[in-house]
């Protein structure tokens, strides 16, 4: 800043001088990024005071004429986050005042043109109206007139305004000078600053409390204060700071509350300054002006202290009340509870028989495995010769087997994590590798056929041991114990007749009672399972605290069945019904004699009809005959049946989704399939017969079996775990570790590769295959079909919603019709926030499309995914938008998408009869046969009498639904990244810090938005909180 300049905050150069001046050859040859870094370091990143004043100390000699003066803020590090600097009397006095030396900008035209942008866009300009002699709007108008070309470039502005707020004429309570007009004029002036994106205004008021005066309501006052702000269209952050004394009376808030409002991408919030700031600021100013020497000493000491103690916060924040209340005190430390209180705190029951077993002691577990010879051995002379474990658990309790399974699978995951640590794929401590080493380490598995020519079991994934290194690395596998993982789970699970304990005794007792009562059918009633579920479920480690849908009295109802299409484990596949499907269901209604539906369906708005479509199952399984019954019996297991059901729904204008009809197993045509229609025409129809409508309940069960298969194998395992793995391998083969795209994606891969390897080695072949009604060959075909038909770009959230017949904008999704589909609303908001973050992060390196197209790493990445990863739908990366979308999608799959389809499994799947993995009896072959079904037929089709299968079906969601730890959430990711760069001064690192702060702020805002979306659902709906950024995992963790 130079006082001889024609502007207050920077240089001005005449047109003639600018035209005559040649560019500096040296400066002109520097890259734009380096020029920007140099200019920012010299002229940017500072707080600049602007004030219209006379000379601070020489007014007696140079006259009292006022002019615009500027000065660098002397204490930016001391300024609390929520306050505007109040030390103008330090920063503008002649003895201390520092201005930017802008002489360099006159050296060449390029320096001037580039420098002006940096000067006005990277600095924070501060106006402090301490003496209350000019309104801020007058000062802004003056600066606009003084700098008509440069003032519009300003991005960040801070204002401290001392106002009188009580208008005794109108009785209103608004900041004013000349009435309300002063406040309105301020926002009109600010609205004329096109580049302004960050605004902070601190308003100082007299000590009188507002409740002494007549005032409008808090709601009206909020509108008065926040309403004008929205005239500023380009704001990203706007903060108003008021004295704490006015917090409850002015806005009706409690102490510690922060009022936040949102408008598009901008957040507006009101903060509360410390109580002493509401004192008369004139005292502070007058004392400062009468003791300049004292002020200079004080400022020097403060600046010195900051330089010596950069890591210390000289003004630590006050913790929120709830955190302060939980902190230890002298009283709490020395407190001695009474024996009665102590006994109440003892969690363990008196009898060891009643002790809850959450996990086995590791040493006890190891001893048991060794004693029962549940370990594999390898012949030292012939390493390729593996001897399977000699032992096998013959008998085990239901609870004990569950615990053993949980602990064994945890060991398996640890084993793969250790292996990947040794190999350097997922090291415990980071290791830098050059791209050549990465490419050698990260190799795709063979696809679509294995090296032996047989079809690959899984989509392209990380080949743990390349073929040429199999023998050299076999010792690693042996030492780590990877061989055991291929058999251990099956050895731990007893056969059906080996399940003993209280659960088995309860089932036998119920069966005997039924037989003794004259019912020859061996089985239980559905209500018996419901009752047992209330008292014998696992403790809660998931986001629903151990609850499940079976605790609801109407868990079987049409409402709960329909709700799961929008808020269950798979809210991703419900799709607008095609004309062909509507015509097919009309045919089925006519053939089945459903007259009322024959009349109602043609009258329904086609856009209101949706389907869950499993008609493609046989083709995906590799079954050529569309009429073939889907059946499989795994050795040592039971007879299982699978179905490909198609369900027709109607979405009513009030947001209620209603099931109309279910084709229980599509066999090539609607005429060859069994299709049943709902007796209830509308959501408001009587529910009195729902509980005993066994044919319809069976049909809903068939639909749930179909969705279990589609969700677990296609949506969850393939389109989340395996698609993300293909991306990870491609990135590591084509992009260096220090590349900005790599560093942006890497935190979202934490432990994904080792978890996927564990699932391929054990969970799928040893557990999942045992549960479904298809063979292993058909299951692997299903996985490949899901991968091969995946549309990467079509799965971007806006594209996906449009493709499935839903609105793709926030405004349209706000209609009442979609109030019960919070997945769509939340996921769209998350997509927009993540995309904004990604775009900001990448903009530093990719300001133009040409930069993206010229980056060979990006082109190699796209080519690798499309060809080696067998994902042709991956986009060409030639524009900024294409790159931003692709990176956003990679993060989306790993974080919100996986969280949505994974962490509710325990709630909806643990109660097995709500969503079983298979049918235990062959499905009916005609509608007449189905219509004759009673409760016994439904019970026989459920795994109620199959202890082993029920245990496995309940164990899978238990294993996969553990609540995300706080340190692995999206919010913690944003906070961690901000803290990692908070003291950085480099331009790129400050860019990352600012982007991370905005991401954190946006995610915090989404927490409130998602809470509101959940509460906006129909009364009695199950709250939908799985996408809360504090619960959403940052990567695929389970």
Q: What is the pLDDT of residues 324-377, one digit of tens each?
A: 666 677 777 777 778 777 777 766 666 665 555 555 555 555 554 555 544 444
Give the range among 257-266, 473-482, 817-826 with minimum mean pLDDT: 473-482
pLDDT band at 74 (very low <50, low <70, confident <90, very high): low
| Total H helices, total E strands in the chain | 44, 21
pLDDT band at 77 (very low <50, low <70, confident <90, very high): very low
Q: Is the pLDDT of residue 563 over 80?
A: yes
**Averaged pLDDT, 518-523:** 40
pLDDT for 361: 57
Give the whole-number percent of the chain exceeding pLDDT 70: 64
CA angle at residue 156 from 152 to 160, to 5 degrees? Answer: 110
Q: Tell me if 133 sits within 8 A of 180, measured CB to CB.
A: no
Instruction: Provide the angle, in degrees to the nearest 10, between the axes of the packed helices 723-734 and 856-866.
Output: 140
Tokens of 385: 């010769």
| 15 or 558, greater pLDDT | 558
Q: Is the pLDDT of residue 122 over 80?
A: yes
CA 148 – CA 7 distance, rounded (Å): 10
pLDDT for 389: 47
**Averaged pLDDT, 164-189:** 55
Q: What are the pLDDT digits (tens) for 221-255?
A: 666 666 777 777 777 777 777 666 555 555 555 54
Tokens of 581: 């499907």
Q: How far lies 240's CA from each of 77, 258, 521, in Å? A: 20, 11, 72
Please count the residues of the chain: 1038
214 φ/ψ angles, rounded to the nearest 5 degrees: -70, 130
Q: Which of 145-154, 444-453, 703-712 has the highest mean pLDDT?
A: 703-712
pLDDT for 761: 80
**Averaged pLDDT, 290-298:** 41
Q: Is 650 helix (H, G, I), strand (E, B) or coil?
A: strand
**Averaged pLDDT, 547-570:** 94
pLDDT for 922: 97
Q: Is the pLDDT of residue 578 over 80?
A: yes
pLDDT for 807: 97
| 117 or 520, greater pLDDT | 117
Q: Is the pLDDT of residue 103 over 80?
A: no
Q: Is the pLDDT of residue 212 over 80?
A: no
Which of these, 501, 960, 460, lies nearest to 755 by C-alpha position? 960
pLDDT for 659: 98
Which of these, 149, 224, 223, 233, lies nearest to 199 by C-alpha position? 233
For the chain, how long is the longest CA-to-CA vector?
Answer: 116
pLDDT band at 402 (very low <50, low <70, confident <90, very high): low
Structure letter (DSSP) for residue 679: S
pLDDT for 206: 53
Give the whole-number percent of the chain exceeding pLDDT 90: 40
Which of these, 466, 441, 469, lies nearest to 732 by C-alpha position? 441
CA 37 – CA 118 distance, rounded (Å): 9
Q: How far lies 906's CA from each of 309, 568, 919, in Å? A: 50, 11, 20
How many Cβ atoms are within 10 Å of 877's Cβ, its own excluded?
A: 24
| 920 or 415, greater pLDDT | 920
pLDDT for 274: 40
Alpha helix ranges (H) inside 179-244: 181-191, 218-226
pLDDT band at 877 (very low <50, low <70, confident <90, very high): very high
Q: Is the pLDDT of residue 162 over 90?
A: no
pLDDT band at 685 (very low <50, low <70, confident <90, very high): very high
Which of these, 940, 949, 953, lies nearest to 524 by C-alpha position? 940
pLDDT band at 863 (very low <50, low <70, confident <90, very high): very high
pLDDT for 17: 42
Q: Which residues of 352-382 are buried (b: 16+ CB within 10 A; e: fewer)?
A: eeeeeeeebeeeebeeebeebebbbebeeee
Tokens of 534: 């209330």
Q: What is the CA radius of gyration of the chain?
A: 34
pLDDT for 785: 98
CA 517 – CA 525 distance, rounded (Å): 13
Q: Tell me if 58 sits within 8 A of 87, measured CB to CB.
A: no
pLDDT band at 636 (very low <50, low <70, confident <90, very high): confident
Q: Tell me if 645 sits within 8 A of 702, measured CB to CB.
A: yes
| 328 or 850, greater pLDDT | 850
Q: Is 919 helix (H, G, I), strand (E, B) or coil?
A: strand
610 φ/ψ angles, rounded to the nearest 5 degrees: -130, 155
Give the range among 171-180, 610-619, 1004-1013 with minimum mean pLDDT: 171-180
Q: Which residues of 555-593 are buried (b: 16+ CB within 10 A; e: fewer)?
A: bbbbbbbbbbbbbbbbbbbbebbeeebbebbbebbeebe
Q: Is 377 helix (H, G, I), strand (E, B) or coil?
A: strand
**Averaged pLDDT, 70-90:** 51
pLDDT band at 152 (very low <50, low <70, confident <90, very high): confident
Which of these, 104, 133, 110, 85, lies nearest to 43 by C-alpha position? 104
Q: What is the mean pLDDT of the chain?
A: 76
pLDDT band at 181 (very low <50, low <70, confident <90, very high): low
Which of these, 221, 285, 281, 227, lies nearest to 248 by C-alpha position? 221
Tokens of 219: 């709601």
Q: What is the pTM of this model?
A: 0.65
Following CA atoms 392, 397, 399, 401 in sequence, which dihedral angle do they give, to the nearest 10 degrees? 10
Q: Which of 185-199, 291-305, 530-544 has the highest mean pLDDT?
A: 185-199
pLDDT band at 1035 (very low <50, low <70, confident <90, very high): confident
pLDDT for 220: 63
Tokens of 86: 């109040």
CA 496 – CA 304 distance, rounded (Å): 76
Q: Is the pLDDT of residue 4 over 50?
A: no
Q: Which of 547-551, 751-755, 793-797 has the highest mean pLDDT?
A: 793-797
Burial class (CB in 10 A: 0-12, 13-18, 19+), 110: middle
Q: What are the pLDDT digits (tens) for 8-60?
A: 444 444 444 443 444 455 566 667 777 777 777 777 878 887 777 666 555 45
CA 581 – CA 670 distance, rounded (Å): 9
């Amino acid at each position: 800043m130079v006082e001889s300049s024609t502007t207050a905050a920077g240089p001005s150069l005449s047109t003639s001088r600018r035209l005559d001046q040649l560019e500096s050859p040296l400066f002109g040859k520097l890259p734009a990024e380096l020029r920007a870094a140099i200019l920012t370091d010299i002229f940017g990143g500072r707080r600049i005071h602007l004030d219209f004043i006379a000379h601070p100390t020489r007014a007696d000699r140079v006259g009292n004429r006022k002019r615009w003066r500027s000065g660098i803020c002397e204490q930016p590090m001391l300024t609390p986050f929520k306050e505007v600097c109040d030390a103008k009397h330090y920063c503008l006095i002649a003895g201390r005042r520092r201005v930017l030396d802008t002489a360099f900008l006159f050296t060449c035209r390029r320096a001037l043109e580039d420098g002006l942008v940096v000067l006005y866009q990277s600095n924070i300009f501060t106006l402090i109206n301490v003496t209350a002699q000019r309104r801020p709007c007058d000062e802004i108008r003056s600066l606009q007139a003084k700098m008509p070309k440069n003032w519009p470039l300003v991005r960040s502005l801070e204002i401290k305004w001392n106002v009188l707020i009580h208008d005794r004429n109108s009785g209103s309570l608004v900041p004013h000078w000349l009435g309300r007009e002063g406040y309105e004029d301020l926002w009109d002036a600010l609205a004329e600053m096109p580049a302004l994106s960050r605004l902070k205004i601190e308003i100082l008021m007299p000590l009188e409390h507002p409740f002494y005066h007549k005032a409008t309501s808090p709601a009206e006052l909020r509108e008065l204060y926040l309403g004008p702000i929205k005239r500023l269209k380009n704001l990203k952050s706007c903060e108003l700071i008021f004295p704490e004394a006015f917090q409850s009376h002015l806005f009706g808030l409690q102490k510690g509350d922060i009022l936040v409002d949102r408008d598009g991408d901008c957040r507006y919030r009101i903060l509360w300054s410390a109580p002493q700031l509401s004192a008369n600021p004139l005292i502070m100013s007058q004392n400062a002006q009468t003791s300049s020497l004292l002020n200079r000493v004080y400022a020097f000491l403060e600046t010195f202290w900051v330089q010596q103690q950069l890591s210390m916060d000289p003004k630590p924040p006050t913790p929120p009340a709830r955190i302060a209340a939980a902190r230890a005190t002298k009283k709490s430390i020395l407190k001695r509870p009474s024996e009665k209180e102590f006994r109440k705190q003892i969690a363990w029951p008196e009898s060891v028989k009643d002790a809850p077993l959450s996990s086995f002691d590791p040493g006890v577990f190891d001893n048991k495995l060794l004693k029962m010879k549940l370990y594999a051995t390898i012949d030292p002379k012939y390493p390729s010769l593996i001897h399977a474990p000699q032992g096998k658990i013959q008998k085990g309790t239901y609870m004990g087997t569950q615990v053993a399974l949980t602990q064994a699978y945890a060991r398996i995951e640890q084993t793969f994590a250790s292996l990947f640590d040794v190999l350097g794929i997922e090291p415990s401590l980071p290791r830098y590798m050059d791209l050549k080493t990465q490419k050698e380490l990260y190799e795709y598995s063979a696809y679509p056929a294995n090296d032996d020519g047989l079809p690959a079991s899984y989509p392209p994934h990380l080949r743990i041991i390349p073929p040429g290194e199999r023998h050299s690395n076999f010792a690693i596998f042996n030492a780590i114990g990877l061989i055991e993982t291929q058999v251990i789970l099956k050895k731990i699970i007893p056969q059906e007749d080996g399940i003993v304990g209280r659960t088995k005794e309860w089932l036998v007792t119920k069966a005997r009672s039924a037989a003794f009562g004259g019912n020859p059918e061996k089985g239980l009633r559905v209500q018996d399972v419901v009752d047992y579920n209330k008292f014998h479920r696992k403790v809660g480690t998931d986001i629903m605290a151990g609850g499940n849908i079976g605790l609801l009295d109407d868990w079987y109802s049409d409402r709960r069945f329909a709700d799961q299409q929008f808020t269950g484990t798979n809210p991703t596949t419900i799709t607008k019904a095609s004309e062909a499907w509507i015509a097919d269901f009309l045919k089925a209604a006519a053939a089945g004699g459903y007259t009322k539906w024959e009349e109602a369906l043609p009258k329904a708005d086609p856009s209101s009809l949706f389907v869950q479509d499993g008609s493609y199952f046989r083709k995906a399984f590799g079954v050529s005959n569309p009429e073939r019954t889907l059946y499989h019996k795994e050795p040592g297991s039971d007879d299982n049946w699978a179905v490909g059901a198609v369900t027709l729904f109607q979405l009513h204008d009030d947001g209620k989704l209603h099931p109309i009809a279910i084709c229980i197993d599509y066999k090539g045509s609607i005429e060859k399939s069994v299709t049943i229609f709902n007796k209830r025409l509308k959501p408001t129809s009587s529910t009195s017969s729902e509980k005993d409508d066994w044919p319809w309940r069976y049909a809903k069960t068939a639909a749930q079996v179909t969705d279990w298969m589609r969700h677990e194998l296609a949506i969850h395992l393939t389109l989340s775990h395996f698609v993300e793995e293909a991306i990870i391998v491609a990135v590591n083969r084509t992009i260096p570790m220090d590349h900005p795209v790599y560093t942006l994606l890497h935190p979202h891969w934490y432990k994904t590769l080792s978890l996927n390897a564990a699932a391929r080695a054990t969970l799928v072949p040893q557990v999942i295959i045992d549960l479904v009604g298809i063979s292993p060959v058909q299951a692997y075909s299903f996985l490949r079909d899901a991968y091969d038909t995946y549309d990467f770009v079509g799965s971007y959230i806006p594209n996906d919603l449009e493709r499935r017949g839903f609105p793709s904008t926030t405004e349209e999704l706000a209609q009442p019709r979609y109030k019960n589909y919070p997945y769509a609303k939340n996921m769209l908001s998350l997509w927009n926030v993540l995309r904004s973050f990604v775009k900001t992060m990448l903009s530093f390196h990719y300001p133009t499309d040409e930069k993206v197209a010229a980056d060979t790493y990006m082109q190699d990445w796209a080519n690798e995914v499309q060809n080696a990863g067998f994902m042709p739908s991956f986009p060409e990366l030639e524009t900024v938008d294409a790159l931003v979308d692709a990176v956003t999608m990679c993060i989306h799959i790993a974080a919100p998408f996986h969280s949505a389809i994974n962490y509710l499994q325990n709630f909806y799947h643990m109660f097995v009869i709500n969503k079983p993995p298979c049918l235990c009896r062959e499905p009916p072959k005609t509608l007449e046969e189905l219509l004759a079904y009673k409760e016994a037929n439904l019970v026989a089709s459920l795994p109620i009498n199959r202890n082993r299968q029920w245990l496995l079906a309940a164990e899978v969601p238990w294993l996969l639904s553990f609540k995300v730890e706080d340190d692995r959430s999206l919010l913690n990711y944003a906070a961690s990244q901000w803290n990692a760069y908070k003291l950085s001064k480099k331009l790129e690192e400050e860019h990352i810090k600012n982007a991370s702060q905005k991401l954190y702020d946006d995610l915090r805002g989404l927490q409130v938005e998602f809470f509101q979306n959940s509460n906006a659902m129909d009364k009695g709906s199950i709250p939908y909180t799985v996408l809360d950024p504090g619960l959403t995992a940052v990567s695929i963790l389970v």
